[in-house]
């Protein structure tokens, strides 16, 4: 542990030998193509599939009516059950895999055409005759809850899914009333599209002999998908088999059992043959869950010294047209639990109006609620500094939870185990040469450019699903096989977990095999990967299973060394008898364990230990300071991120190379949110205007600066490894760092109000408006 | 249907294709060389990058029929026959220039073309040259490092 | 994409014959625009006729006062050509900024200008440098070539064979790119030919256009200051989610200044 071990898994990937789901085909496989709604909101007046059915190569066309008539498919589930303060449940609209009466967002699913080739299916989709009656639509989040907005669900008055409040607001209002100072901000957290590089693809299959429904699809854990799919097809667990091969990026959007996957499984069962869907990038853009999309008003009352007396947040959060699996939980549970982030806040009130609109449903995407929480706090801190006439660093130091307060129970009753915020911030500031900004600012000014520097301090809550499965199975050849219920889709778990096992057992890497949660028939247990839970959950499960192996191995070693167990010591992969000095390696013990002749009487063969790890603490609290330095061309509004520095506290680091990789990737996505990525729906027609990379701006190498990343390893006290999540912090730290840097650069021009993404046009317009 | 013939990774191949078949489809489906990937609809992501007659080309933006008679190299031709990694591939592994791996074949093929044109390429140039290659996992930091290191290793090899 | 019949033309005449024989055929040059269009199912030609094999359509030559670029010459070759870099460096800069390296290996000047994409770079280059578009039927002056959105003066069966650029005293090209697509939100080519100056803009309007007021000002005083206070009207300029017409109008002035500074 702690070493930058190179990934053995890279060899397959870098030579083109990886197997992603579109890289293989099954015997007898047919191809499916979807008909999707071109309208934001419409009634389906008529639907005639006759012509499509008769097209060349077509072997089946299925609509919502077919699925409903079969009567064997439940509604798409939502597992985040959010209530209001009075205990009233949220409105959970019915969502069928294929809609037959009404469509509610551009991309909503209507039918599937199955043909012998992909292109035959694609051609035939255009032959489906369908008549729509377009209805008024609403796509803007703030407008969606206004009284005159187009109504989407008759049962959800004002497009309200639920009005969540963490408590009554009377106390915070009283505090704000009497506070000597109040900082106020109005913020937009822009809607994002995750866009992993592998588009959507899946194969549904059916084993008639066993009645098993099979799904091949990239995911963030086959077990995780299984647990959702079984809510839609209520079968015995072994009658649903999910296999995820190499997966081209997840980021939170790949962990959901989307309607397309359900339809493919159902269709395969109907037709008794495999059916593959090769989604194109447009389909990915329109049907992968979107994310963020919050409109927030927040207030921070302070005493005469700038110390916060409380926090009030009022958010309108868009869930889209339907509820995705976790959608309404993101702003109300995921983000809310870390509200206030690193600051000491005596009283916190948070209200979230969870609202429907005629847009793609939202759900988790790297950070899932925590970037929103960080953005609010860091914007408030900057505003608070202005209100108080204080330095932004000074006011943060004043309000940070001090080291001596840990473990600290935050306003949402979460026990935060550790954190050294001032120290971490200082490390970042040094890395960024924070104090040298004035000289650099003057230099930029000489060239007609405006330079600014900004800080984003984040804390996020990583983990979730606080149980996991790990197993270490010693093989007859002396090697070890790690089995774990997390699922690596780019993170390099195979390497990181081998490092953990190596440290625990002394076994060399070449003698280790790694199987994770990519096949429910092989690793049925576990919760997959997401929320940066893999090292803290999967890693610890493996560590504990390894320790069990060593303990059992000691019994065998003692037997083989002909001495008492209490005279055997284990170190660096070897059991040594303290009396005779004789030794035997763990590998040799493993080999012997497969030979009953070598084992003590009555002992079963094998050396194979499981750990079902359940942890009390739901989360741990990665945190960090991100500093962006920008240079703006006031003539065009173009922002160049000239420098970017960060120091993250991810607890103990297993592999610094992997850690840096995760931080880089998260920062890039955070920079994307802040500067480039803009999910656009036309306000009048509800048309989706971000269906390709021509319009949705993906960060490219020339747009990301060198990332100067360091770490402050503050050991996590709530797990054996001392690790905290590492994968999502950058998404939380980068947007406020950039926003604060840009506002710093433009402050002399009187610009105080900007919304992400900070496109050149927006910056230029703000400069003009301030003139 | 048209019969196309070309040299792919040193081997003569041919197949019957619909005229509308993209070169990437021919490579992936007819030749089952699945190392070349499709990542977008608009010729931007670069996951499909191969070499045609010695230069980098986006195989999703070429018809198979246009490649009749061409000399094609895909990612599968880059490592040695015995599995030894090409210095550029080794550099990607050494510098953690990949995570999920989906963009990686395209990155390697583009990298080799960059080095062909700019043997002593530096980091800033690499960032500029990767205009047509998208990655969502790495934030590009280590990809840039890998390509600069790979270029140096290739120079050293001569 | 929809089905079509593909054929390779052996010569320009052969290409014209094939087009005549088709129901609704289209020529393909590099394919960097046509193939994405076909993939999106935005066009369904009956035939696709490939000009890649037609003789004598690629290559760069110079006679000292002009540079002639064959219609099928790839952007990468224009960008790295010694002749172009020496005679009209701004044209090499323009070509080097089109798309990305892989796109530049395939895309062609003929294909680009025949399409008259409002956001392509070459239209500003051709118009700004007062080039002559040479076809199999005639020669067309740049001023007459770009007529409207995706429209040119080309006849149905007319094929561009080359573009002939007079060598200016100096020229500068700069593009303000759409950050997502890389296409020009505004691209300006400024070129000085003796006492005359030409200023051509792409990306801002339906097709490339000149700015007479700026040309006159620069003819009198060839410096960035000369155009700093000249703004064009936002009427008739493009508006999309990336840039409003007003912003484009503003950028035209800024980019014109910078193009002059580069010249």
| C161, C250: one domain | no
Band of pLDDT at residue A466, cut at 50, 70 and 90: confident
* β partners of residue A89: A83
Predicted confidence (pLDDT) per residue in B8-38, tens digit:
999 999 999 999 999 999 999 999 999 999 9
Whether residue B100 and residue A11 make contact (CB cut-off 8 A), yes or no, is no
> Do residues A718 and A417 make contact, with C-beta atoms less than 8 angstroms apart?
yes
Q: Which chains touch A (3 or more CB pairs under 8 A)?
A: B, C
Whether residue B40 and residue A693 make contact (CB cut-off 8 A), yes or no, is yes
User: Looking at CA atoms only, how far is residue A695 from chain C in angstroms?
Assistant: 6
Q: Is the CB of residue C252 less than 8 Å away from at least one CB of chain A?
A: no
Confidence check: pLDDT of A577 > 80:
yes
Q: Is the CB of residue C5 less than 8 Å away from at least one CB of chain B?
A: yes
Predicted confidence (pLDDT) per residue in A474-511, tens digit:
999 999 999 999 999 999 999 999 999 999 999 999 99
Computed over every residue of chain C, the mean pLDDT equals 97
Do you know the residue count of chain B?
158
Asked if residue C148 belongs to a domain, the reply is yes
**Domain of C97?**
60-166
* β partners of residue B52: B55, B72
Asked if residue C54 belongs to a domain, the reply is no
| C41, C78: one domain | no
User: Looking at CA atoms only, how far is residue A125 from chain C in angstroms?
Assistant: 13
Domains located in chain B, CATH noted: 2-75 (3.10.20.30), 87-157 (1.10.150.120)
Largest CA distance in chain A: 89
Measured between beta carbons, which residues in chain C are less than 8 angstroms from residue A123?
A: 2
Confidence check: pLDDT of A584 > 90:
yes
Predicted confidence (pLDDT) per residue in A265-311, tens digit:
999 999 999 999 999 999 999 999 999 999 999 999 999 999 999 99
Distance CA A731, CA A738 (A): 11
ipTM of model over 0.90: yes
Q: Which chains touch C (3 or more CB pairs under 8 A)?
A: A, B
Over residues A144-148, mean pLDDT: 95
SS (H, E, C) A358-373: CCCCECCCCCCCHHHH
Q: Which chain A residue's Cα is nearest to B108?
A: A14
Which residues have CB under 8 Å from B81's CB, separation 6+? none
CATH number of the domain at C212, please.
Answer: 3.30.390.50
How far is Cα of residue C177 from the mean position of the Cα atoms in its chain? 15
Q: Is the CB of residue C173 less than 8 Å away from at least one CB of chain A?
A: no
End-to-end CA gap in chain A: 56
Q: Is the CB of residue C106 less than 8 Å away from at least one CB of chain B?
A: yes
Q: Which chain A residue's Cα is nearest to B102?
A: A248
Over residues C105-115, mean pLDDT: 96
Which residues have CB under 8 Å from A413's CB, separation 6+? none
Whether residue A761 and residue C176 make contact (CB cut-off 8 A), yes or no, is no
Measured on CA atoms in the order A462, A466, A469, A472, is the torsion positive or negative?
A: positive
Distance CA A726, CA A535 (A): 9
pLDDT at A689: 97
Distance CA C57, CA C69 (A): 9
| C92, C179: one domain | no
Do A10-135+195-287 and A294-463+618-770 come out as alike in CATH topology? no
pLDDT at A464: 75
Measured between beta carbons, which residues in chain A are less than 8 angstroms from residue B76?
A: 15-16
Structural domain count of chain C:
3
Measured between beta carbons, which residues in chain A are less than 8 angstroms from residue C179?
A: 676, 697, 703, 759-760
Q: Which chain A residue's Cα is nearest to B87?
A: A14
pLDDT at A335: 87
By Cβ distance, the residue of C2, C181, C251 closest to A694 is C181
Last residue of a domain, one of C150, C166, C182: C166
B100-132: buried (b, 16+ CB within 10 Å) or exposed (e) per residue? bbbbbbbbbbbbbbbbeeeeebeeebbbebbbb
Band of pLDDT at residue A601, cut at 50, 70 and 90: confident
Q: What is the pTM of this model?
A: 0.97
Q: Is the CB of residue C41 less than 8 Å away from at least one CB of chain B?
A: no
User: Looking at CA atoms only, how far is residue C86 from chain A in angstroms?
Assistant: 28
Write out the CATH class of domain A294-463+618-770: alpha beta
pLDDT at C110: 97
Measured between beta carbons, which residues in chain C are less than 8 angstroms from residue A693?
A: 180-181
Which residues have CB under 8 Å from A27's CB, separation 6+? A274
pLDDT at A475: 96
Predicted confidence (pLDDT) per residue in A364-398, tens digit:
999 999 999 999 999 999 999 999 999 999 999 99
pLDDT at A187: 98
pLDDT at A463: 87
- Best of C54, C100, C183 to disrupt the B interface (most B CBs within 10 Å) is C100
pLDDT at C111: 96
Point out the least confidently predicted range of A470-484, A605-619, C115-129: A605-619
Residue C241 CB burial class (10 angstroms; 0-12, 13-18, ≥19): middle
**Token pair for residue B91?**
């550099």
Which CATH architecture describes the domain A467-614? 2-Layer Sandwich (3.30)
| C153, C175: one domain | no
Confidence check: pLDDT of A616 > 90:
no
> Do residues C204 and C256 make contact, with C-beta atoms less than 8 angstroms apart?
no
pLDDT at C39: 97
Over residues C200-207, mean pLDDT: 96
Whether residue C241 and residue A689 make contact (CB cut-off 8 A), yes or no, is yes
CATH number for domain A10-135+195-287, candidates 2.170.120.12, 3.90.1170.50, 3.30.70.100, 3.30.70.370: 3.90.1170.50
Distance CA A52, CA A130 (A): 11
Give the residue extent of every domain in chain A. Answer: 10-135+195-287, 294-463+618-770, 467-614
Q: How many CB pairs under 8 A join B and C?
A: 79
């Amino acid at each position: 542990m702690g070493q930058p071990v190179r990934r053995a898994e890279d060899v397959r990937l870098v030579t083109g030998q990886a197997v992603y789901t579109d890289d293989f085909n099954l015997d007898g496989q047919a191809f499916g193509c979807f008909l999707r709604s071109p309208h934001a909101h419409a009634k389906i007046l008529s639907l005639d599939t006759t012509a499509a059915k008769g097209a060349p190569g077509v072997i089946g066309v299925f609509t919502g009516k077919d699925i409903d008539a079969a009567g064997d498919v439940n509604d798409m589930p939502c597992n985040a059950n959010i209530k209001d303060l009075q205990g009233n449940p949220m409105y959970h609209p019915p969502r069928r895999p294929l809609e037959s009466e009404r469509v509610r967002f551009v991309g909503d699913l209507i039918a599937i055409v199955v043909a012998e080739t992909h292109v035959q299916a694609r051609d035939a989709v255009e032959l489906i005759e369908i008549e729509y009656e377009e209805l008024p639509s609403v796509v803007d989040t703030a407008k969606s809850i206004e009284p005159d907005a187009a109504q989407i669900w008759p049962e959800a008055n004002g497009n309200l899914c639920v009005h969540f409040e963490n408590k009554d607001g009377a106390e915070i209002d009283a505090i704000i009333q009497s506070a000597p100072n109040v900082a106020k901000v109005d913020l937009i957290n822009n809607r994002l599209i995750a866009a992993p590089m592998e588009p959507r693809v899946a194969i549904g299959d059916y084993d008639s002999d066993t009645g098993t429904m099979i799904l091949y699809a990239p995911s963030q854990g086959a077990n995780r998908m299984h647990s959702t799919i079984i809510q839609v097809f209520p079968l015995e667990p072994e009658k649903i088999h999910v296999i995820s091969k190499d997966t081209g990026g997840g980021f939170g959007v790949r962990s959901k059992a989307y309607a397309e996957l359900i339809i493919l499984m159902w269709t395969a069962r109907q037709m008794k043959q495999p059916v593959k869907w090769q989604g194109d990038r447009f389909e990915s853009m329109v049907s992968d869950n979107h994310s963020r999309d919050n409109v927030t008003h927040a207030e921070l009352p302070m005493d005469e010294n700038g110390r916060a007396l409380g926090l009030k947040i009022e958010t309108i959060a868009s869930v889209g047209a339907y509820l995705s699996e976790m959608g309404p939980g993101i702003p109300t549970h995921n983000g809310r639990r870390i509200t206030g982030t690193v600051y000491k806040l005596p009283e916190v009130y948070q209200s979230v109006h969870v609202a429907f609109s005629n847009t793609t449903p939202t759900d988790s995407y790297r950070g899932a609620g925590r970037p929103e929480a960080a953005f609010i706090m860091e914007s408030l801190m900057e505003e608070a500094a202005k209100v108080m006439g204080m330095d932004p660093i000074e006011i943060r130091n004043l309000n940070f939870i001090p080291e001596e307060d840990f473990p600290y129970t935050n306003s949402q009753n979460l026990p935060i185990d550790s954190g050294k915020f001032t120290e971490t911030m200082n490390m970042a500031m040094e890395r960024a040469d924070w104090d040298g900004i004035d000289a650099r600012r003057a230099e930029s000014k000489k060239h007609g450019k405006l330079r600014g520097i900004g800080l984003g301090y984040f804390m996020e809550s990583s983990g979730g699903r606080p149980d996991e499965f790990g197993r270490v199975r010693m093989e007859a050849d002396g090697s070890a096989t790690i089995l774990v219920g997390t699922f690596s889709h780019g993170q390099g778990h195979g390497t990181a977990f081998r490092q953990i096992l190596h440290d625990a057992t002394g076994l060399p890497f070449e003698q280790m095999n790694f199987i994770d949660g990519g096949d429910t028939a092989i690793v049925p247990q576990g919760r997959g990967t997401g929320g940066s839970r893999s090292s803290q959950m999967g890693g610890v499960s493996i560590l504990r299973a390894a320790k069990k192996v060593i303990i059992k191995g000691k019994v065998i070693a003692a037997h083989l060394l002909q001495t008492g167990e209490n005279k055997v010591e284990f170190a660096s992969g070897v059991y040594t008898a303290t009396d005779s000095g004789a030794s035997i390696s763990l590998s040799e013990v493993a080999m012997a364990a497969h030979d009953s002749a070598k084992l003590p009487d009555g002992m079963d063969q094998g050396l194979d230990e499981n750990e079902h790890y359940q942890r009390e603490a739901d989360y741990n609290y990665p945190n960090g300071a991100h500093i962006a330095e920008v240079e703006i061309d006031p003539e065009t509004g173009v922002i160049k991120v000239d420098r970017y520095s960060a120091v993250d506290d991810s607890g103990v680091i297993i592999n610094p190379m992997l850690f840096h990789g995760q931080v880089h990737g998260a920062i890039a996505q955070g920079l994307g949110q802040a500067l480039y990525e803009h999910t656009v729906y036309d306000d009048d027609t509800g048309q989706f205007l971000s269906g390709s990379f021509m319009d949705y701006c993906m960060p490219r190498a020339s747009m990301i600066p060198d990332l100067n990343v360091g770490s402050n390893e503050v050991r996590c006290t709530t797990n054996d490894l001392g690790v905290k999540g590492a994968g999502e912090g950058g998404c939380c730290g980068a947007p406020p760092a950039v926003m604060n840097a840009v506002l710093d650069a433009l402050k002399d021009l009187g610009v105080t109000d900007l919304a992400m993404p900070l496109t050149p046009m927006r910056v230029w317009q703000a400069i003009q408006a301030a003139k | 249907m048209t019969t196309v013939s070309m040299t792919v990774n040193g081997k003569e191949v041919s197949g019957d294709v619909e005229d509308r078949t993209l070169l990437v489809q021919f490579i992936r489906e007819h030749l089952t060389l699945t190392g070349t990937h499709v990542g977008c609809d608009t010729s931007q992501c670069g996951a499909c990058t191969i070499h045609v007659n010695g230069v980098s080309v986006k195989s999703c933006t070429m018809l198979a029929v246009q490649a009749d008679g061409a000399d094609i190299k895909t990612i599968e031709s880059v490592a040695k026959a015995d599995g030894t990694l090409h210095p550029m591939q080794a550099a990607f592994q050494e510098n953690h220039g990949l995570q999920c791996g989906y963009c990686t074949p395209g990155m390697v093929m583009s990298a080799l073309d960059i080095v062909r044109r700019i043997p002593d390429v530096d980091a800033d140039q690499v960032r500029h040259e990767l205009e047509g290659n998208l990655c969502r996992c790495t934030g590009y930091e280590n990809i840039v490092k890998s390509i600069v290191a790979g270029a140096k290793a290739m120079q050293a090899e001569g | 994409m929809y089905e079509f019949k593909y054929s390779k033309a052996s010569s320009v005449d052969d290409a014209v014959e094939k087009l005549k024989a088709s129901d609704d055929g289209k020529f393909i040059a590099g394919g960097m625009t046509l193939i994405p269009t076909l993939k999106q199912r935005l066009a369904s030609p009956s035939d696709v006729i490939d000009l890649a094999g037609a003789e004598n359509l690629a290559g760069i030559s110079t006679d000292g006062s002009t540079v002639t670029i064959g219609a099928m010459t790839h952007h990468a070759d224009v960008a790295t050509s010694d002749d172009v870099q020496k005679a009209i460096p701004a044209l090499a800069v323009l070509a080097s900024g089109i798309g990305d390296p892989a796109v530049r290996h395939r895309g062609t000047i003929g294909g680009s200008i025949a399409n008259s994409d409002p956001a392509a770079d070459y239209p500003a280059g051709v118009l700004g440098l007062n080039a002559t578009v040479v076809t199999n039927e005639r020669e067309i002056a740049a001023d007459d070539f770009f007529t409207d959105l995706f429209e040119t003066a080309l006849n149905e069966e007319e094929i561009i064979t080359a573009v002939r650029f007079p060598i200016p005293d100096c020229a500068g090209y700069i593009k303000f790119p759409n950050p997502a697509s890389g296409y020009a939100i505004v691209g300006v080519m400024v070129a000085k030919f003796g006492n005359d100056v030409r200023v051509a803009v792409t990306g801002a309007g339906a097709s490339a256009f000149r700015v007479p007021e700026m040309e006159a000002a620069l003819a009198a005083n060839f410096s960035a200051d000369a155009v700093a206070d000249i703004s064009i009207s936002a009427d008739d300029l493009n508006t999309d989610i990336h840039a409003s017409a007003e912003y484009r109008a503003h950028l035209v002035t800024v980019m014109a200044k910078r193009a002059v500074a580069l010249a």
